[in-house]
Structures are given as structure tokens and as C-alpha cells.
Copies of this chain bind each other. A is one copy, B any other.
Amino acid sequence: MPMKIYLAGPDVFLPDAIAIGRRKADICARHGLTGLYPLDNTVDLSAPDASLAIFKANEAMIDAADAIIANLTPFRGAGADPGTVYELGYAAGRGKLCLGYSNDPAVYAERVRQFTQVTAHDGRLVDKCGLTVEDFGLSDNLMMIHALDCYGCALVTPRERPADIWHDFTAFETCVQLAAERLLAGRA
């Protein structure tokens, strides 16, 4: 049976979310893997407990998967989508192989400057609310970046930001390839 990969990401919030899921699953299939996409779950969105049903279905998919590929492309701000990040943390806690990519190659501290004023103060960078801006030269918060280093492969980013950050699947496919190599090596 092919190994399974949970496809986490804010892709589900795009207008063509279902088509993106099919595209990602096709790429997985080309590498001998089965992609599990949150929108494959059938949930009655009009039910009063719809959001809980989505939570449980997503969690069951992660539990059933051998690995996760998290789309950590910045979402509605300077950092990754918290829903995706929760799933990455949960997968790491459950001992899954963890991969991730971001289609924005900028480092976090640079990116924060697009959203708020950042100044140097007492040897640290601070935003206009006085909160420290993480400045380790990483793409996002160190917890996600090093989770990938420790439980899978380093974050995959393109050399240059693609024109369409939500529909360029190059970095995603690199993750699929890395996952296939790791999972098949583990099986051999």
C-alpha cells in the first residue's frame, strides 16, 4: 500500500481549493505516494458542530498519515497560517515525518517590515508595539523551522518568490520527492 502524506496548508482557503488539492494529490501519486487533503473529508458545513467535525476529520487524517507536508507560505500577515502550524506541531508530537515549504524566500525579520515599523533597540529588533522580532535569519518562527530540521528535512523555499505564490507547486514537489526518498528508505 502506498505511504500517505497529509497535505496541510492554507490552500483550503483559496477559491480553487479543491482543484489545488487534486493537483497536489496528482503530484504525490507521480512519486508513488497517496496525498490526504483536508477537503477530501465530507463534512456538512450547515451542521451546528461543523467546525468540530472538521477538526476531528483532519486529526484522523494526520493520524492515518506517514508524513505531513505543511505549506508555510505566509498567510494574512508576516507568518505561516496558525491552523497549518498546529497540524505540523501535532504531527511532530505523533512522530510523523515532517516536511514543509514556503513560497516566500524572505527571512522573517525582513518580512515583518512590510507590515509594521521595525527598529533596533538594546541589541534586538522590536516592532511598533515593542515586541521582539525574531532575528535568527530564519524564514519564520524557530519552532516550526527547527521541527522540520529535526523531524524531516529543512524548509524548502524557492530561490525567488514565484509570481503566483498559491499556485506554484515547485517547492511542494521538492517536498514530495524528499518524502518519497525518506519513506521508501525507511521501508527498505
Do the beta carbons of B51 and A138 come within 8 Å of each other?
yes
Nearest chain B residue, comparing its CB with the CB of A11: B131
B-side contacts of A2, CB under 8 Å: none
| Interface mask (A127-170 → B, CB under 8 Å = 1, otherwise 0) | 10111111010101111111101100000000000000000000
Main secondary structure of the interface of A (DSSP, over half): helix
Do the beta carbons of A80 and B82 come within 8 Å of each other?
yes
- State how many residues of chain A have any CB contact under 8 Å with chain B: 55
Q: Chain copies in the assembly?
A: 2
Compute how far the CA of A143 lies from the CA of B144 in the bound complex, rounded to whole angstroms: 16
Do the beta carbons of B131 and A13 come within 8 Å of each other?
yes
- In-complex Cβ contact of A79 among B15, B50, B82, B147 (8 A): B82
B-side contacts of A83, CB under 8 Å: 141-144
B-side contacts of A76, CB under 8 Å: 77-79, 112, 115-116, 127, 129, 131
B-side contacts of A116, CB under 8 Å: 76
Mark out the residues of chain A between 23 and 47 whose CB falls within 8 Å of any chain B CB in the assembled complex: none
Knowing A89-B87, A90-B90, A150-B55, the reply to whether A81 touches B141 (Cβ < 8 A) is yes
Do the beta carbons of B93 and A55 come within 8 Å of each other?
no
- In-complex Cβ contact of A143 among B87, B112, B129, B138 (8 A): B87
B-side contacts of A54, CB under 8 Å: 142
Compute how far the CA of A78 lies from the CA of B75 in the bound complex, rounded to whole angstroms: 10
Binding site for B on A (CB under 8 A): 10, 12-15, 17, 50-52, 54-56, 58, 75-83, 85-94, 112, 115-116, 126-127, 129-134, 136, 138, 140-147, 149-150
| 7 residue pairs, one from A and one from B, having the closest CB atoms | A93-B93, A89-B89, A77-B77, A55-B146, A83-B141, A51-B136, A89-B90
